[in-house]
Amino acid sequence: MKYKPILIALVLATWLPAGLAHHSTAVDFEKGTEIAIEGVITNTEFVNPHTRFYVDVTGDDGTVENWQIETRPARNLANSGVTPDTVKTGTLVRAEGEPSRRGQRSMWLTGLTIEGGPRIAFIDADGGNADGGNAGGGQQQTGRRPPVLPTDWKTFSEIGAEYSSDAPFDISGGWSGRYRFTVTVDDLEPKPVPATDEALRLRAENQVFGTDDALRCIGVGLPRLFGSPGSMEIYDQGPFYLFVYVSGVRRIYMDGRQAPEDWPLSMLGYSTGRWEGESLVIETTHLKPMWLDGSGWPMSGAETRTVETYTPSNDGATLERTMTIHDPLYTEPLVRTRGFVRSSAAMSEGICDPQGFYRDLLNEGLIEDYLAL
């Protein structure tokens, strides 16, 4: 077989392109490992959010295997000269990319050579450089680069918000999660994850079909949304804060009320908040059972409780954020850390194609088994 593993260095992350923010490619592909194949294109699907190429690879023994190459939307590829005309059926290509986590013949494209021409490198969808170089980023951002504060940002109190509170810090306004962003796959501490036998069983079950809600455009909810690199806006409404995400709205009740016992489970749960010094502390319960991260770690849902802290920097330009997850599926609390930076950019909805999940199952011969669940 004409492919070989190429170990590449894990590099630091910067900004995630908004158009690809519907889910991290680290959910499906092995970050930090790269393979290369050579073969002839048999089919292409120029669809959003991820274009797919299918390549026949001939092994040394003459056997032929068909590989799926997943990559960026068509509009992004066109900027690099990759169009339906340049990668049509019968075209000889060399493709380099990150292999499937599930052992399938598929990869996330990082480099492409068409008919022996120049190599085209792509910026990784999780922020890194396709060559493994440090083009400002890679797998995670540690915060060493100082945040750039927009010159035109204002808090809602400065522009005359209708409501205000006696909070020690005005948290209202727009925020971007790309500051101190880390891919939300195996990012929980401590390591190894202190999982119970039931958690290990459920994780293995989750990975059989990769039944991640994010891949079907359903959304991820809490606590995974906490780790997203996307933008959000916070509105101070007096007795509660509104946290507005592209995927939904949370109310953080600040007036001492508690969740009713019969409150239904949901993706964002029921949240109450309080100020401890200059840190906003938010507790959330009544969550639906979902995944904690993109690798399939489960959560019980009804018995899950999260505690978030938001602590501002001295100049108010950034927030240090920590989420502690309490769940009986784990023998001790799990911790996720992130940051926020002030942002005046308008939130934009990412592109998501729910059919891609089912196309992958069909191509892998798993669709009937999945439908039988």
Q: How confident is the model at residue 189, as a pLDDT?
A: 98
Rounded-to-integer distance, Cα 339 and Cα 312, Å? 10
pLDDT in tens, 240-282: 999 999 888 999 999 999 998 889 999 999 999 999 999 999 9
Scan for tokens 């392109």, then name that residue.
Answer: 17
Q: What is the DSSP string of 222-243?
A: TTGGGG--SEEEEEE-SSEEEE
Domain total of the chain = 2
Do 178 and 227 share a domain, yes or no?
yes
123 and 264 in a single domain? The answer is: no
Q: Is residue 285 part of a domain?
A: yes
Residues 181 and 99 in one domain: no
Place 99 in a pLDDT band, splitting at 50, 70 and 90.
very high
Is residue 299 within 8 Å of 290, Cβ to Cβ?
A: yes
In what helix (H) or strand (E) does residue 334 lie, and over which residues does it extend? strand 334-342
Cβ-Cβ contacts under 8 Å for 62 (sequence gap 6 or more) = none
Q: Tell me if 325 sits within 8 A of 213, measured CB to CB.
A: no
Check pLDDT > 50 for residue 306: yes
- On the 0-12 / 13-18 / 19+ scale of CB atoms within 10 A, 244 is middle
Pairing between strand 106-114 and 64-70?
A: parallel
Tokens of 105: 């013949």
Residue 123 lies in a domain: yes
CB atoms within 10 A of CB 270: 21
Rg (CA), the chain: 22
* Cα–Cα distance list, 9 to 130, 137, 239, 294 (Å): 11, 12, 48, 21
pLDDT at 6: 35
Mean pLDDT of 306-331: 95
Amino acid making up residue 52: R
Domain boundary among 140, 162, 187: 140
Q: Specify whether 81 is located in the same domain as 25.
A: yes
Structural domain range at position 75: 4-140
372 domain residue, yes or no: no
Same domain, 294 and 179: yes
pLDDT digit string (tens) for 176-228?
998 999 889 999 999 999 999 999 999 998 876 656 777 667 778 999 999 99
Q: How confident is the model at residue 348, as a pLDDT?
A: 60
Q: What percent of the chain has pLDDT over 70?
A: 74
Please tell me whether residues 111 and 222 are part of one structural domain: no
Rounded-to-10 torsion of CA 282, 283, 287, 292: 70
- What phi-psi label fits residue 90: left (phi over 0), alpha (psi between -120 and 50 degrees) or beta? left
Supply the pTM of this predicted model: 0.61
Per-residue pLDDT for 163 more than 60? no
Kindly state whether residues 13 and 122 are assigned to the same domain: yes
Q: What is the pLDDT of residues 119-149, one digit of tens each?
A: 998 865 443 333 333 333 333 333 334 555 5
Q: 9 and 134, same structural domain?
A: yes
We report the CATH number of the domain holding residue 54 as 2.40.50.140
Domain assignment present for residue 287? The answer is yes
Task: List, in order, residues 6 or more apart from 68 with CB less than 8 Å away.
Answer: 52, 53, 54, 104, 105, 106, 107, 360, 363
Q: Is residue 71 part of a domain?
A: yes
